[in-house]
Structure 1
Amino acid sequence: MNEQAKSMIIIADDLTGANDTGVQFARQGMHTEVLLEGTTLSASSDAAIIVIDTNTRASVADKAYRQVQQIAKQARAARFLHYYKKLDSTLRGNIGVELQAILDLHLHDFAFVMPAFPKNGRTTVGGNHLLHGVPLSATEIAKDQKTPVFETVLPELLRKQTGAKVGHIGITDLCQGQAAITASIRQHLAAGCTFISCDAWLEEHFLLAAQAVLEVSDHILWAGSAGLAECLPQLFGWKEKQKPQYPTLVVAGSISAITRDQVTQLLLNDYELIEIDVANYLEQPHLPLPCLEKALALLKQGKNIVLASGYHLQAIERSKAAGAKRSMSAFEVSEVTAKILGETGAAILRQQDVAGVILTGGDTASAVCQALGVTGIRILEEIAPAIPLGKMKTPEGKSFWVITKAGAFGNSDALVKASQKLTTRRLP
């Protein structure tokens, strides 16, 4: 494991804040653990990123100072190189006090404070911290029962809570770019500032400012919301190694108009259709599985595919006619269709790695599972109303992410969204 990546401690003042900051690193594939209040920090953890919740947002200042400094001392003993103080993006809590508790250990040259979170409507402009464009002092945050915020000019809040000298990077510096920001930071440090706060109303301001900060010092106490934290993996080069990108397999056995519309949407999103001609199979049942080689070839090229029967209405009529010639009922033809889809889908999954499989229609889903020898599905979450994501394992030990959907169910984009879930989900 990258030793540098192991060396960041994040100190938060509440649990949800700890989690929403930690996830910025977990998104990059970094092993991230959140420790609850009262947990002793250990150097033996395998986690790349340790986030600890002190639960001090509503504490009196002296208590918050002591608790945060205790954690910072533990981090020092464990030889963490990088420190991040998670701040509430609406400035609630003992922001300055907790930062001062860490600075008083003399591990850092200064605290760089950037609590904006533009994605969620929290911005800092001209030092004024805004919620959806409104100064915090004019919002409900000022009336918070536990932690009301009365001072919402960021550098003033830090001065009032610490008595320290505070410099601020404002609109002009940000608009002029990295060199101007670096020069401004140096001027503030020369003037004796130990806190430097910074405006941010656009996402790109975080990386821009952070790069400028690193031009000045390697010993920074980083302080902000999840917004600033999000750029740090890129800043420090803690990017996840690129994982293989696998295609997705959809097996659609339902002949409902709803499913047909959903498959059409997949085809508009670069899926390749492979339609099994059931009529041909009924006429020559001893032939190899239809379309298997074609499906495997497309998947190996990275193409997402839909394995279907009955997408074209004439194919349904041909299968019914072929079945009638053999005195088969529509139900019997349907059973044979599910069996073909199940065996073909299972053969594909045994031979080709996929991001996951989407099974539409109960008979089809059951047939694929039976052909694979799967005896159950572990349900994990609901990705849309009554459309679950799960995981299944074959007797040989191969695991698959699986989404099942009833045939005549869901909006027209249901399969597209299901596919997106499989391709964006991080596998444990």
Structure 2
Amino acid sequence: MANHINKISSPIVILADDLTGALDSSCTFSSNGYKTIVYCELPKNIEVIKKDLASNMNQVVVLNTETRNSTNKKIESMYDLLFSEYKWLFENSHPFKKVDSTGRGNIGFEINAILSKFHIPYAFVCLPYPELKRIQTMGIIKSEGNPIDHTQNNSKLPKDVRYQTEKSLEIQSGLKTRLVTQKEIDTDEKSLYTRLKSMIESNVKIICFDSLSRKDLNQIYNTTKKYFPKCLLVGSAGLTKSISESIAVRPYKPPKVNIQQNPFALISLSYHQTTKTHFTKLSDLKKISNITIDTDALQLDTSFNKEYKRVCSIIEDSIYSKTNIAIKQNKQPSLGTKNKSFTSKRLHKFLSIISTKLMSYDFYKTFILIGGDTANVVLKTASIRKIEAIEEILPGIILSLPLPENNVRFNIITKSGGFGSEDQISELISKLL
């Protein structure tokens, strides 16, 4: 991608492993005059993408592969499809692989699949997103200053949290992997280039970087772009921000959207502690009706239907009183409930029919969707297959619009589930009221 990023004849292509990641990794390009289209799922008719690009090549094309929690077999199948059906899209531009800034997912295996299918010699991986207080030092990913330990999800990792990013990628990919430390990044460009060149010559296939700041990310991107244009760049929205800041400004202007004083529905399936804190803060706001889904009630059809009627009644009362709403689940399902897969399917089904109910009234003009699962379910329910990323309202919180062919008219605001200060959602709401 680095070879072609400034050329009009070549779009910027991002492969994201979930929907909220697809949006937060691409939203900063629109302010530089790049039409940014996110495909919520891979189009069955690839002529749709070709038609879009024919009208405007200054685009960012974002494909949501939804592979973060996928098996190796499904990931392999996904990239077989991409390479066979979308080969024309990558002929003049390398893909950027967007991954989670905390290292969740089967990142190493996805990298291996892309390198193999797309015949790319090596990958550079930079996960940090300093604006969200996610950094990496000595291979340790930290969020809000707290080390993230993936050993509980991967017994093959050494107990020592140091170098965990490097070791995790090597185990997942089966490829020789090395770490560039903060000390090495702090050297001059020539020294960093020499270090990277030495690693590549010793047959290292994945090189991951520590990073503490925006300055570090910019240096990493500029060095790799200048000296290693054939590489696969892998990272979070932190790294795509460096890319968007380096490209030439284009004339495209995204649609103007007024998000103030429009009725909104805030929805989340996440039970992450950060999300719980956000909703606790919202409970004090009188202009929002809080609805809590009883997750345990969804296990049986009888209680499922009863819970649906209860929630619908609150929604109807909220619309009658012209009140915004916030919907969440009350807790993780009790230990006595059925397996997680069954519970997840029931919760998704419930959210789908509740979303249908919300949309049928055409009252709520903005849907705030927290977490990739939530966004996926709601947008699929509305048959929204592609959207345009408009702007980043707050770090990691993205405003987007369904394209006209979707025949729906509401604003979409998305946020990944597990980050943000305790006042972040309250700050967002203050911009809407």
Give the TM-score normalised by the residue count of structure 2: 0.51
Give the equivalent residue in structure 2 for 1:238: 248
| Root-mean-square deviation (Å) | 3.4
Equivalent residue for 2:129, pick from 91, 105, 117 = 117
The structure-2 alpha-carbon separation of the partners of 1:241 and 1:219, relative to structure 1 and needing over 3 Å to count, comes to same
The structure-2 alpha-carbon separation of the partners of 1:108 and 1:234, relative to structure 1 and needing over 3 Å to count, comes to farther
Equivalent residue for 2:39, pick from 19, 35, 41 = 35
Which amino acid in structure 1 is aligned with residue 170 of structure 2? Answer: R
The structure-2 alpha-carbon separation of the partners of 1:143 and 1:7, relative to structure 1 and needing over 3 Å to count, comes to same
Q: 2: CA distance between counterparts of 1:98 and 1:150?
A: 18
1:33 deviation in Å? 0.5
Matched, 1:44 2:56: no
The percent of aligned pairs where both chains have the same amino acid is 24
Equivalent residue for 1:21, pick from 16, 19, 25 = 25
Q: 1: CA distance between counterparts of 2:28 and 2:183?
A: 29
Give the equivalent residue in structure 2 for 1:83: 95
Alignment deviations for residues 31-88 of structure 1 (CA, whole Å, 9 cap, x no partner) = 0101122424433323611101111111112211321342244443233413100001
Matched, 1:135 2:147: yes
The structure-2 alpha-carbon separation of the partners of 1:132 and 1:88, relative to structure 1 and needing over 3 Å to count, comes to same
**8 A Cα contact 1:112 1:196, kept in partner:** yes
The equivalences for 1:222-371 within 5 A come to 222-235=233-246, 237-241=247-251
Q: 2: CA distance between counterparts of 1:43 and 1:149?
A: 43
Q: 1: CA distance between counterparts of 2:6 and 2:134?
A: 33
Matched, 1:210 2:221: yes
1:241 deviation in Å? 4.9
**8 A Cα contact 1:22 1:32, kept in partner:** yes
Q: 2: CA distance between counterparts of 1:181 and 1:207?
A: 13
Q: 2: CA distance between counterparts of 1:9 and 1:87?
A: 14
Q: 2: CA distance between counterparts of 1:67 and 1:242?
A: 32
Equivalent residue for 2:75, pick from 61, 64, 77 = 64
Give the TM-score normalised by the residue count of structure 1: 0.52
**8 A Cα contact 2:79 2:117, kept in partner:** no
Matched, 1:164 2:175: yes
1:94 deviation in Å? 1.2
Q: 1: CA distance between counterparts of 2:238 and 2:135?
A: 10
The structure-2 alpha-carbon separation of the partners of 1:5 and 1:206, relative to structure 1 and needing over 3 Å to count, comes to farther
The structure-2 alpha-carbon separation of the partners of 1:44 and 1:108, relative to structure 1 and needing over 3 Å to count, comes to farther
Q: 2: CA distance between counterparts of 1:44 and 1:77?
A: 13
Give the equivalent residue in structure 2 for 1:176: 187
**8 A Cα contact 1:11 1:53, kept in partner:** yes
Secondary structure of the residue that 1:103 maps to in structure 2? Answer: helix
Equivalent residue for 1:186, pick from 184, 197, 202 = 197
Q: 1: CA distance between counterparts of 2:178 and 2:8?
A: 29
Q: 2: CA distance between counterparts of 1:104 and 1:193?
A: 15
Alignment deviations for residues 275-316 of structure 1 (CA, whole Å, 9 cap, x no partner) = xxxxxxxxxxxxxxxxxxxxxxxxxxxxxxxxxxxxxxxxxx
Alignment deviations for residues 157-188 of structure 1 (CA, whole Å, 9 cap, x no partner) = 11000111112211121111322221111011
Alignment deviations for residues 195-235 of structure 1 (CA, whole Å, 9 cap, x no partner) = 11111111111110111112322212111000000111333
Which amino acid in structure 2 is aligned with residue 183 of structure 1? Answer: T
The alignment covers a number of residue pairs equal to: 247
**8 A Cα contact 1:56 1:64, kept in partner:** yes
Computing the radius of gyration from Cα coordinates, the structure with the larger value is 1
**8 A Cα contact 1:37 1:53, kept in partner:** yes
Q: Which runs of 5+ in 1 are unaligned?
A: 244-378, 384-416, 422-428
Q: Which runs of 5+ in 2 are unaligned?
A: 254-363, 368-392, 394-426
Identify which of structures 1 and 2 has the higher relative contact order when contacts are C-alpha pairs closer than 8 Å and 6+ apart: 2
The structure-2 alpha-carbon separation of the partners of 1:77 and 1:5, relative to structure 1 and needing over 3 Å to count, comes to closer
1:103 deviation in Å? 0.2
Equivalent residue for 1:219, pick from 230, 235, 256 = 230
The structure-2 alpha-carbon separation of the partners of 1:204 and 1:72, relative to structure 1 and needing over 3 Å to count, comes to farther
Secondary structure of the residue that 2:103 maps to in structure 1? Answer: coil
The structure-2 alpha-carbon separation of the partners of 1:2 and 1:113, relative to structure 1 and needing over 3 Å to count, comes to closer
The structure-2 alpha-carbon separation of the partners of 1:12 and 1:2, relative to structure 1 and needing over 3 Å to count, comes to same
